[in-house]
Amino acid sequence: MDHRLLGNSGTAVSSLTLGTMTFGSEADEPTSHAIIDAFVAGGGTFLDTADVYSGNESERIIGRWLQAHPTEAQQVVLATKGRFPQGDGPNDHGTSRRHLRVALDASLERLGVDHVDLYQMHAWDALTPIEETLRFLDDAVSAGKIGTYGFSNYLGYQVTKAVYEARLHGWAPPVTLQPQYNLLVRDIEHEVVPACLDAGIGLLPWSPLAGGWLSGKYQRDEAPTGSTRLGEDPKRGMEAWEARNADERTWQVLDAVSAVAEAHGASKSQVALAWLLARPAVTSVILGVRTTDQLADNLGAADLVLDEAELQSLTDASTPRVDDYPYGTAGVAQRRRKIAGGR
């Protein structure tokens, strides 16, 4: 597995990241530890978690693995997130200094470490001034509690606002953004990707297989049964499945993925991940697995090299539909040139 710099920082991370949202819920602790073992053995160095994953249990599970593997832990680049509720009080959520101070200390305690390499704001907070959030993060960098910081689920203007506020005040800059990004969800290319390219911010895509769709687990007009990724609300999950199933673009993308996979003797998951690894601004792709078998398949993407024609076929098949101003034909063409490095 190759390594890339973490956005505009000097920290190197593996091109695939182990996401741990399943730890403590869909994967019990022995399974979670086995997944980390296999990931590290496969050359992975980047672990991503959050204080809300499985009600804090994901961080605790990772912390116990780190304590049990001190040698391997030295090579791990560790990331976590804060923002969402950690209690019922009015200050138990958000990106205020008050909440983040408590949330970060609690994460460090659960992980059993004195610092994390990357601390991420899990979502935008419209109530807290961005200056307050950034000043806290700069102070946390200075105090050695975090190495760098980044964001998740921010819009393009929010990323840019944070970047330039940090520059204005001489504070440490953000280095990463975690967005949803995959062959079926490419809307971030309108604004978010150009904003990140402009600032040198690295993308850490989550849901790279679109909740299992790009792995080929779903068949046209066959409603899913058994263990699925329909979310906490199965009814809403089925509504989302029905919408995607009825969208011809879904099957157009899956046909293109299947053709490339067949040509390489690879899995559909590996092809979808390899396409994402080749996208502009992408630093590392976050894998979300429940078993070591799923991980083993996903890790194969690190060695899969798609040629330009294959990448283009996937890009063409998955082109987002854009009809309204200002994201019409001319605007899309201009942004594509920007993403490609042109003017």
How many CA atoms are closer than 13 Å to the CA of 73, on its beta-carbon side? 15
d(CA 272, CA 147) in angstroms, rounded, equals: 31
Provide the residue type at 281 as one letter. A
Beta strands in the chain (DSSP E): 3-5, 12-14, 16-19, 46-48, 77-82, 116-121, 146-152, 176-178, 202-203, 285-288
Q: How far is CA 240 from CA 201, 229, 251, in A?
A: 31, 11, 15
Q: How far is CA 221 from CA 20, 63, 191, in A?
A: 31, 43, 33
- The separation between CA 314 and the C-alpha centre of its own chain, rounded to angstroms, equals 20
Task: Note if 53 is an active site residue.
Answer: yes
Catalytic residue among 53, 119, 149, 218: 53
Q: How far is CA 17 from CA 135, 136, 218, 300, in A?
A: 28, 26, 25, 13
Q: Catalytic amino acids?
A: 53
